[in-house]
Amino acid sequence: MADLFMFLIISAIIFSIGSYGIITQRSGIKILMSIELMLNAANINLVAFSSFNGDASGQVFALFSIAIAAAEAAIGFAILVALFKVRDTINLDNINILRW
C-alpha cells in the first residue's frame, strides 16, 4: 500500500523540514544541508510521478537535478571557505560584505 499520496506527503514533510532549517539555523553549512533537503524533496516528487505514469523522463530530470545540486554544493562550500578565510566565522549573521 504505497500509493502516490504517500510519496507526496513524505516529500512535503522533507521540504518543510528543510525550510524550517533555513529559517532557524544561522550556520552556513547547516543552511546548505537544508537546501539539499529541499532539493531532494523535489527529486522525490519527480521520481514518484515518473514511476506512477510509466514515463522515464521524470527520472532523467531527477538525475539532472542531482547533478545541479552537486555543483551548487561545491560552489557553496567554496564560498564558505573563502568567507572563513576573511572573517574567521561562517555565522551568516556576521557576513555583510554584500550589504551597502
- C-alpha cell read off for 11: 516529500
Residue selected from 26, 29, 70, 91 as contacting another protein according to rule CB under 8 A: 70
Whats the size of the chain, residue-wise?
100
Q: What are phi and psi of 91, to 5 degrees?
A: -70, 120
59 binds another protein (CB under 8 A): yes
29 binds another protein (CB under 8 A): no
95 binds another protein (CB under 8 A): no
Rounded Cα gap, residues 81 and 7, in angstroms: 36
Rounded Cα gap, residues 16 and 12, in angstroms: 6
Contact residues for another protein, defined by CB under 8 A: 2-5, 8-9, 12-13, 15-16, 19-20, 23-24, 49-57, 59-60, 63-64, 67-68, 70-72, 74-75, 77-79, 81-82, 85-86
